[in-house]
A and B are shown apart, each in its own frame.
Chain A
């Protein structure tokens, strides 16, 4: 049976997928996508997702690209750092989202090897 990734890891994967396509993902989009996958679980709420994002940023796996205010709420846009990409090798091939990651895998490996 394939397991989902831990929610925090999945948030990082989403940010990495966008970053490798040179796209930016913002807080709203992350919350929306995570809700689609983990929405039935009680842990899946805005505050937990927000804390996970801040934790990923604090340890340098993602970087805040741009911040703006919308309807009295801070909206941040994020991109992955090299170390964030590096952690993608820890996605087990039994993970539900592993196949989704396959098209990006080669590009990320090339990027990491190129910049090291």
Chain B
């Protein structure tokens, strides 16, 4: 018969392992979502060459967020948690989630797209891949998250692997606003890092399923008010709803909702640094799925990058016992 100590440890370990599983699921589903979005972006009306390059991705991001907001609300209705939505939104926690929504949605996503536009995709991808390291650093400073050397090394390897996997040689095209583009890419990485910290702080006292629902809804509203009118994107937005590609978009919305819910569970259960490092494994899943579905062969840097990410992830999630107590506050 087990003693109380081992039963307690067993219960806590089960909780920590669940957190790791959620974080990994968020990575896998994010990979599937990225593939679906990649396909949708080549379809009407997003393939319209007459509009500015930045319009289609931002309109796409707005619809994607809106669908996910709608689906998470439906999910919360189903689970009987919907009353928590208003409780969270109209409390001080709602402010933290609002900041989180600003950081991740319009700020990070717009920064990312502007970065690609002004500095090119390769530099932007490399800079924005550092968001787990930024998130981990911010979590250690502001949330007093405990991360030992092995975990920190794992996070670093995940970042290096993601940079390696996503890196493409610069094309040599001269970008007149190159340095501004680099600043936008840094803003995007900071935005995603900050999202995790503010989100995790709010989720200390709010259910993750509610936090993500509020976050997606606020993010969607901000896209509608502050982004879409300025890029004259309403025409494309309405056209997208009647286009056949909307069915694939709806599927992406479902996958994205699963990814976000599990991602927020991961942030809350394993801590910001670990959850982000496990989430970034999505680059592996994109490559594997792309190979399985489209037969796209991976380049050597992709394979090496993926192997580095796998090794990093093992270091990050290697010992669930360390996740029983995520933070160290002064008593």
Contacts and interface: CB of A to CB of B under 8 A. Distances in A.
Chain A partners chain B: yes
B205 interface: yes
Interface of A: 3-9, 12, 41-43, 51-52, 54-56, 58-61, 64, 67-69, 74, 76, 81-83, 87, 90-92, 94-95, 115
B98 to A, nearest CB: 14
B206 interface: yes
Interface stretch (B84-92, B103-111, B164-172): B84-92
Contact of A5 (B87, B325, B328): B87
Given A74-B7, A83-B327, 9 more contacts: A6-B84, A12-B205, A56-B205, A60-B325, A60-B328, A67-B7, A81-B331, A90-B91, A92-B91
B323 A5 contact: no
Given A55-B268, A82-B331, A90-B205, A60 B93 contact: no
A82 B204 CA distance: 14
B149 interface: no
Interface of B: 4, 7-8, 11-12, 15-16, 79-81, 83-84, 86-88, 90-93, 144, 203-207, 210, 268-269, 323-331
Contacts of B90: 3, 92, 94
Contacts of B91: 3, 5-6, 9, 90, 92, 95
Dominant SS among interface residues on chain A: mixed
Nearest to B8: A67
B140 to A, nearest CB: 14
A115 to B, nearest CB: 7
Contacts, number: 101
Contacts of B4: 67-69, 74
20 contacts: A3-B90, A4-B87, A6-B84, A6-B206, A6-B207, A9-B205, A42-B79, A43-B207, A54-B15, A58-B12, A58-B16, A59-B326, A59-B327, A60-B329, A67-B8, A81-B329, A81-B331, A82-B330, A90-B205, A94-B90
A58 B331 contact: no
Nearest to B270: A58
A98 B88 CA distance: 15
A12 B327 CA distance: 17
B92 A82 contact: no
Given A55-B269, A90-B91, A8 B325 contact: no
A108 B154 CA distance: 39
A87 B80 contact: no
A49 B203 CA distance: 15
Contacts of B88: 6
Point out which of A54, A82, A91 has the most chain B C-beta atoms below 10 A from its C-beta: A54
Contacts of B269: 55, 58
A8 B207 contact: yes
Contacts of B329: 60, 81-83
A95 B91 CA distance: 8
A95 B205 CA distance: 14
Contacts of B204: 55-56, 59, 61, 87
